Chains A and B, each alone.
Chain A
């Protein structure tokens, strides 16, 4: 058998010297340089693991003098962190072996069936599998951070109950509810009552479409814990969260932007008013003036008529003056700095 020339640092937790020797022998048959550390009790093992010793793999006997069985697995797992744990036992118990895998162990081997190659294979597989799991875990963590560290409030809610399943820090900061409070709340709790019907309608559409509606955006009023109403632009995506249909939603607070737009629209209305006045009110006396001046220019106009036209011209001019002053006053009311 060609020996693996990689160095493996192995912790054997085994109180039976005979079993330990057997394992060591098997290891030496398949691995060129096994760096074996042996301990005989959980107490010793925990001391090593707490001291942060580096191991590639832990081989664990399930009946130690100071602990055994499920308790021992749980205790070792909590200390092992990312190191894979292979359980070695003298008893065949399918139910228990399944349970221990659920608790996170990498493999469950029967001492009686043990051979060098079975042990070697299990060690290599366990180490490689752990690497993959660690990478997945790392990537999960990275995505979790992306969610958590996003400066924009984000949450995941259950598509059927509308309950919050997860919220990020920005949501906690922006809305004023603690994370635990959010976890007892549903989307209803951040929507003003007046907008329930609008929300209901939207939610029904979203629920019916399920995953056929990957992306959805909207504009809503939301209510903070302190009662403040904010205007948000939302967009959400379908996902399954812990097996449940859910949506992840992003709610961007655009209250200020909306105030600004409202103010600009208000000004726009005023400007339109002014344009209307220009066209209708200002032009009336002006058109009259022009008409009267045309009359003055006519040859057959008598002096008497000219006199009365002149008076009308002056009246119209005065009227025009008043109107222009009114418009100026109106224009001065438009002040963008009034927006808070």
Chain B
């Protein structure tokens, strides 16, 4: 079963761009889009299918509830083992990259702008590759 895709970014244009790439790269035809981390977490909590896997494309720098807070909430939620996160950020700070690695749910780190090739390569990341075969 393919993973459900969730895209979280506060910028509408970016949501549109990433969604386009997700569809084009064949990851999913209808990803879920959220403009903030709070709504995305709430959506995940509402899921009650135990076998469904989720792949989240997460922006870090968002007003209010940011990407780090999303990861903190996720780390203590029941659904954490069904969720993998690929960070998509405009940050080129090494410190952000290092911090991201400290979360076990994070399986990838992409610096914007995202290209179709990058999106393709996500399907080859160990933890999720099996779901895309």
Contacts and interface: CB of A to CB of B under 8 A. Distances in A.
B113 A294 contact: yes
Which has the most chain A C-beta neighbours within 10 Å: B11, B90, B91, B114? B90
B66 to A, nearest CB: 10
B115 A287 contact: no
Nearest to A309: B13
A316 B113 CA distance: 13
Interface residues of B, number: 16
A287 B13 CA distance: 11
Interface in B64-100: 90-93, 96
Nearest to B116: A294
B61 interface: yes
Instruction: Say what secondary structure dominates the interface of chain A.
Output: helix
Contacts of B111: 287
Given A279-B92, A290-B112, A291-B113, A284 B11 contact: yes
B17 interface: yes
A294 B115 contact: yes
Contact of A284 (B20, B61, B96, B115): B61
Contacts of B112: 283-284, 287-288, 290-291
B107 interface: no
B14 interface: yes
A286 interface: yes
B11 A288 contact: yes
B13 A283 contact: no
A276 B115 CA distance: 24
A276 B93 contact: yes
A288 B112 CA distance: 8
A269 to B, nearest CB: 15
Interface string A266-290: 0000000001100110011011101
Contacts of B61: 280, 284
Contacts of B115: 294
A276 B92 CA distance: 9
A312 B13 contact: yes
Given A280-B61, A295-B17, A288 B92 contact: no
A139 B91 CA distance: 68
A287 B90 contact: yes
Per CB-CB distance, the 6 closest pairs between chain A and chain B, nearest first, are: A287-B112, A290-B113, A291-B113, A283-B90, A287-B90, A284-B90
Interface of A: 275-276, 279-280, 283-284, 286-288, 290-292, 294-295, 312, 316
